[in-house]
Structure 1
């Protein structure tokens, strides 16, 4: 028998260095070796592309849906030095200003009229208008990831940054974010009014974790704060006024790198995604919550693992690798490296028509998820049936329907010795894993498309 040797050549993958949603998830930007592009989040459409021949970019951060973009140089041949932030007017297609610093820029956050720039041990805040004015500077602990988050809703004030101690979050209140001036005919409903001032002075420091922070996220309103640590097993939700811990969710039992957390616009759900390639969905509802719990939850007074809330829905993003590399390493890739990170993604919330409605009736708008992978995949996911996901725009005509699954019956608690508890812990974890495979509810894939090189560039 003559067996010939055949070599399999991998196709050239799409190289996406970074992708960013705007504050309302109406558009997103993507950065490749060719330059950057601006897309409409849904329906997916390429709005504009900009190609550069002099170098590469690390990130392009959109400011709402305006033409204002903030550019950061990066990669092997940076278009701009890593200590610069370039303000780009995409309507005019030119640079309008630049900010130069003495050290490398680690992260950016923006909203109407404000820009926050994160460095290794400080955060600087600028007022952006006809001119750019430096307004505030805050010291932080060692922050190599450049973590920071800014509330972007109407009249929101919150800026969340790492505190001076490891695992702490510092809450800063900027001047209120004024809503945009409406364009066109007057609205039939009154605009959002400023909320009343808090009855007590908001807290300034939250001791969120004992280990290093991995992500900091706030909803547009700034009423809550989501934090994760370097271990990547827990997601904690905090009240930004009182500083109290509201909820604690468990992503999993094994260590992972959480890439991001996103609040649903009505703050009823929160989604979490990590290097495991799975998007987890948790309910923030205090009544009728549908989060899963361990079958051994009565042991929560002895073992905290069993007292945790687990996601009520998940979606596993398929691997898009074109080949298998035997020499691959598990080391974390740099976001500016000239290689594609197959597992990394970005997730945001959108409003889209529901596909579950009676014939002959206009479908109500509901909240759905858009997942963007760094290999060029665009996924539109809808929530499982029986969840309350009708958006506010259709809530006036369509009542909210909430039918969470019934909780599993809890076993009757009883006193146990320490040795018996230890043995039941291991059995309980295995039992929970088996039950999760059977009872987990999957997010529904509604649409899948490609972006990047398939749009004629990249």
Structure 2
């Protein structure tokens, strides 16, 4: 649930933030150390000043935490060193040292995954044995998703794309930079390739059961959901007309909602078909009528699209206000309305796959962050109908969502914790790295895991 969040508006003291696997806790890295906070209600549980932490990742609500340092710190806290610590006993369980910077860390109860720029290392978390190494294309943003579940246990990452000078480039010409590989972490083999987008992947997320994968490209206009490992397209959603950088994608616990944050101030909430398990759902079943504040536009594959109805919401209202008052504005509005009506009429006569390109589903609900242009990570509460957002400015927001009617979410809480003692939240952009790994040292077993109380 973590994502690089460096922006001009990020707090200078903040280095990292991420929700844990079920969204119940937030792990925070600062220039002085790290801390753990409960998400509901928001409050600090644990903190320690051990030097800068560029990555802080939890294993659910246990005391097992993965830490990575920074380049401007003492040698004992290097960006090349991954430490597994037990916060209950305040002890270091294990250290893994790499020749270059660690860009990302993912954990579940079965596997530990370490993402480098051109390699992914897979460990058995019970004994820290290195099981497998995957070579990848350059991945400076550590785009990767690990299923929270241990069975099935899947890893999703962008498909390697050979360079034009590579001797394998001709044989791999059918692969697109928007393809995603599904890797089984039990059998240690690729189980499927999902043709998700035509442009490079910018964000991936697996649901809690490891049966659904959400994807976004670097264009950021369309969000797609696929079954895992079957690679069937289940849903296609329209985030907006204009390109945007997707910061974070997150399913709720029962995979009925999907949250997407980007470099705009709007966080979108899409509704998935009720009862969908991920494997056998129809691609159009349960898609919700559009309620997005975004305008219609083209898909990230260049296909013609349309809504089938007028766009609604705050942004559309403001846009209409700006365009009213003049002949050109009147003509523009009539042209837009005519285009939407034509798209809806034509879409009704098309087969489902083609109609889907014309009528991508809009969001079910949305929320507006107070400050535009800040990066964020999102999660949906597993106990209350609320969306939780943490921004690079240092704010933790909680928004109430109407599960029946959708629409604009209502802000319920706002907490500020951007201090040296308890800090929120900017996942640092980490320097690029290459390959390799050498020594690792076990100081104690990973069975020493204690739940926070």
Q: Same fold (TM over 0.5)?
A: yes
Q: Map Cα deviations across residues 25-47 of structure 1 (whole Å, 9 max, x no partner).
A: 11111112221110011011110
SS of residue in 2 equivalent to 1:453: coil
1:231 matched to 2:219? yes
Q: CA deviation at 1:306?
A: 4.3
Aligned residue number for residue 74 of structure 1: 70
Aligned residue number for residue 348 of structure 1: 379
Q: Is the 8 A contact 1:82 1:104 kept in 2?
A: yes
Q: TM-score scaled by structure 2?
A: 0.68
Q: CA deviation at 1:75?
A: 5.7
Tell me how far apart the structure 2 counterparts of residues 456 and 128 of structure 1 sit (CA, whole Å). 29
1:283 matched to 2:271? yes
Q: Is the 8 A contact 1:15 1:374 kept in 2?
A: no
Q: CA deviation at 1:155?
A: 2.6
How many residue pairs get matched? 335
Q: Map Cα deviations across residues 13-58 of structure 1 (whole Å, 9 max, x no partner).
A: 5732211111111111111222111001101111011113xx4221
1:446 matched to 2:412? yes
1:11-410 map, 5 Å: 15-52=13-50, 55-74=51-70, 76-77=72-73, 80-129=77-126, 131-153=127-149, 155-165=151-161, 166-175=177-186, 203-285=191-273, 289-292=287-290, 293-295=307-309, 296=340, 297-300=344-347, 306-319=358-371, 343-352=374-383, 366-384=384-402, 386-387=404-405
Tell me: higher relative CO, structure 1 or 2? Use CA pairs within 8 A at least 6 residues apart. 2
SS of residue in 1 equivalent to 2:214: strand
Q: Describe the shift of the 1:291–1:136 C-alpha distance in structure 2 as closer, same or farther (beyond 3 A).
A: farther
Aligned residue number for residue 166 of structure 2: none
Q: CA deviation at 1:12?
A: 11
Q: Is the 8 A contact 2:181 2:190 kept in 1?
A: no
Q: CA deviation at 1:384?
A: 1.9
Tell me how far apart the structure 1 counterparts of residues 19 and 109 of structure 2 sit (CA, whole Å). 15
Q: TM-score scaled by structure 1?
A: 0.68
Unaligned runs of 5+ in 2: 1-8, 162-176, 274-283, 291-306, 310-339, 425-453
Q: Is the 8 A contact 2:28 2:34 kept in 1?
A: yes
Tell me how far apart the structure 2 counterparts of residues 204 and 280 of structure 1 sit (CA, whole Å). 29
Tell me how far apart the structure 2 counterparts of residues 12 and 111 of structure 1 sit (CA, whole Å). 29
Q: Is the 8 A contact 2:259 2:380 kept in 1?
A: no
Tell me how far apart the structure 1 counterparts of residues 13 and 308 of structure 2 sit (CA, whole Å). 41
SS of residue in 2 equivalent to 1:310: coil
Q: CA deviation at 1:76?
A: 3.9
Q: CA deviation at 1:146?
A: 1.2
Q: Is the 8 A contact 2:251 2:258 kept in 1?
A: yes
Q: Is the 8 A contact 1:15 1:375 kept in 2?
A: no
Tell me how far apart the structure 1 counterparts of residues 403 and 364 of structure 2 sit (CA, whole Å). 12
SS of residue in 2 equivalent to 1:46: strand
Choose 1 or 2 for highest CA Rg: 1
Q: Describe the shift of the 1:386–1:18 C-alpha distance in structure 2 as closer, same or farther (beyond 3 A).
A: same
Q: Describe the shift of the 1:454–1:126 C-alpha distance in structure 2 as closer, same or farther (beyond 3 A).
A: closer
SS of residue in 2 equivalent to 1:298: helix
Tell me how far apart the structure 2 counterparts of residues 41 and 86 of structure 1 sit (CA, whole Å). 24
**Aligned alpha-carbon RMSD (Å):** 2.7
Tell me how far apart the structure 2 counterparts of residues 288 and 128 of structure 1 sit (CA, whole Å). 38
Q: CA deviation at 1:102?
A: 2.5
Q: CA deviation at 1:167?
A: 1.9
Q: Map Cα deviations across residues 369-413 of structure 1 (whole Å, 9 max, x no partner).
A: 1111121211111212525xxxxxxxxxxxxxxxx8xxxxxxxxx
SS of residue in 1 equivalent to 2:345: helix
Q: Is the 8 A contact 1:83 1:103 kept in 2?
A: yes
Q: CA deviation at 1:205?
A: 1.1
SS of residue in 1 equivalent to 2:14: coil
Q: Is the 8 A contact 2:111 2:185 kept in 1?
A: no
Tell me how far apart the structure 1 counterparts of residues 423 and 385 of structure 2 sit (CA, whole Å). 31
